[in-house]
């Protein structure tokens, strides 16, 4: 008997679905139920934990149950105009897609926007909409609000939801923009908006504290890593399906080496799969780790060079020894920094770039491969 070898035993670097998706049942059910009932959700996690994968799967499930839904990523937006364009395009392609097939309907819908958009079609056949800026300054916040209000057209007929992924971009572009979403979300009481983002310090600024625009906007779901037992079972099963053996010990080592971060678990497992003969074991995992760090070394070198010297030393000190006591004399000495304020400033920058993160009170380098490179 021959075993069919899947081309990809593991997948990393972009959202996963199908056989590459494991666990997350509870979070998925929570998001799905809210999408169908018109409740909002704020979904938070560091990058690479699986937010987008989870949301795309939730949209699929909701559609199968008769809901209208769609997905917008704000990752490439750098101005308020681009946010309005991304949101309007996402709504036309997602929740309103069945209403936009006829040209008259589409024209009629777009009449609700205060600026007439230019409609294009991208390579995938999806609408891409742009608002040509006139000479006069434009009230982009109102254009964004008009765009969001298009959702009301659908929610009268069906459960309607819209995912706004990479929502931290909103704060990076303009602190006040979050308020527009809040105001319109309050109006659209039967529509479900899902705000998802990384850069937890920014997302927390949006979601908690006095005057925070997303405060009390809906259920807050914080996505942690996938539990070890499901992730390691997934790793072993996928290895078997692709014709190699991975024992529980090796799977556990892979998980632990990268702090259980789903993207990095899949990446290390993939490399170990390539390195191994018939069996993925402790030795192949160690070689795989080395290979990834070495493949990345040019990128890491460039990243490191772009940091200021104090940031470099703080990063390196925390790579080799994570600690919560970053203002203690011993850490200042270790990182060769003259005072706590300089440490604070360096950590702010490093956290803002998602190079450092605090887990259970301890500051650590968030990427295990970078951490290994720094400590070599
Ligand atoms: N449910 C999951 N099961 C297995 N691997 C996952 C899962 N979710 C995410 N991953 C891994 O993490 C990677 C990044 O997922 P993604 O959804 O893009 O994360 P995020 O949106 O939080 O940055 C995927 O390519 C995959 O390797
Ligand atoms: Mg994502």
CA nearest to 117, candidates 150, 164, 94, 95? 150
What tokens does 37 get?
Answer: 């009932």
What is the CATH number assigned to the segment(s) 307-375? 1.10.10.10
pLDDT tier at 7, thresholds 50, 70, 90? low
Between the CA of 203 and the centroid of ligand 2 the distance, in Å, is 14
Provide the residue ranges of all domains of the chain, joining segments of one domain with +: 24-222, 228-300, 307-375
Look at residue 137 in the predicted model and tell me its pLDDT.
74
- Residue 27 has phi, psi (to 5 degrees) of -65, -40
Residue to mutate, 50, 57, 354, ligand 1, most ligand atoms under 8 Å from C-beta: 50
List phi, psi (to 5°) of 182: -60, -50
Q: Do the first three CATH levels of 24-222 and 307-375 match, i.e. the same topology?
A: no
Look up the CATH number of domain 228-300.
Answer: 1.10.8
Q: Which two tokens stand for residue 223?
A: 């996505």
Q: Are 203 and 168 in contact (CB under 8 A)?
A: yes
Q: Residues enclosing ligand 1, CB less than 6 A?
A: 11-16, 20-24, 45, 47-53, 226, 262-263, 266
Per residue in 162-176, pLDDT (tens digit) is 999 999 999 889 888
Question: For residue range 310-358, what is the model confidence (pLDDT) as tens digits?
Answer: 999 999 999 999 999 999 999 999 999 999 999 999 999 999 999 999 9
CATH T-level topology, domain 24-222: Rossmann fold (3.40.50)
The pLDDT tens digits of the residues spanning 230-270 come to: 999 999 999 999 999 999 999 999 999 999 999 999 999 99
Atom number, ligand 1, closest to the C-alpha of residue 223: 22
Nearest CA to ligand 1 atom 6: 262
* Ordered DSSP codes for 102-163: SHHHHHHHHTTSSSPPEEEE-TTS-EEEE----SS---HHHHHHHHHHTHHHHHTTS-EEEE
Give the pLDDT score at 1.
45
Is the pLDDT score of 224 beyond 70? yes
- Which of the 8 DSSP states describes residue 44? E
At residue 360, φ and ψ (nearest 5 deg) are 50, 45
């Amino acid at each position: 008997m021959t075993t069919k070898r899947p081309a990809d035993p593991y997948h990393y670097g972009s959202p996963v679905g199908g056989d590459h998706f494991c666990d997350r049942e509870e979070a998925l059910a929570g998001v799905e139920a809210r999408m169908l009932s018109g409740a909002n959700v704020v979904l938070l996690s560091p990058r690479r934990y699986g937010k987008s994968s989870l949301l795309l799967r939730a949209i699929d499930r909701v559609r199968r149950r008769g809901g209208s839904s769609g997905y917008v990523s704000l990752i490439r937006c750098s101005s308020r105009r681009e946010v309005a364009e991304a949101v309007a395009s996402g709504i036309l392609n997602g929740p309103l897609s069945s209403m936009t097939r006829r040209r008259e309907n589409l024209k009629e819908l777009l009449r609700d926007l205060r600026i007439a958009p230019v409609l294009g079609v991208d390579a995938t056949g999806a609408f891409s909409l742009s608002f040509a800026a006139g000479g006069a300054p434009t009230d982009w916040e109102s254009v964004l609000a008009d765009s969001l209000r298009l959702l009301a057209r659908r929610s009268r007929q069906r459960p309607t939801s819209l995912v706004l992924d990479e929502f931290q971009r909103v704060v990076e572009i303009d602190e006040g923009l979050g308020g527009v979403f809040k105001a319109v979300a309050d109006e659209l009481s039967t529509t479900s908006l899902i705000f998802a983002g990384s850069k937890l310090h920014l997302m927390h600024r949006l979601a908690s504290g006095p005057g925070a625009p997303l405060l009390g906007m809906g259920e807050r779901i914080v996505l942690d890593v996938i539990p070890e037992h499901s992730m390691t079972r997934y790793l072993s099963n996928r290895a078997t399906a692709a014709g190699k053996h991975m024992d529980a010990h090796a799977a556990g080592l892979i998980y632990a080496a990268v702090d259980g971060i789903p993207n990095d678990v899949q990446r290390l497992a993939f490399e170990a799969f390539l390195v191994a003969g018939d069996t993925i074991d402790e030795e192949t995992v160690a070689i795989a780790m080395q290979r990834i760090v070495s493949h990345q070394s040019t990128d890491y070198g460039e990243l490191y060079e772009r940091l200021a010297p104090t940031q470099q030393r703080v990063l390196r000190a925390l790579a080799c020894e994570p600690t919560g006591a970053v203002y203690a004399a011993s850490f200042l000495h270790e990182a060769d920094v003259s005072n706590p304020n300089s440490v604070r400033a360096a950590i702010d920058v490093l956290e803002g770039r998602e190079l450092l993160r605090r887990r259970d009170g301890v500051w650590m380098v968030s990427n295990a491969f970078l951490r290994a490179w720094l400590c070599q």
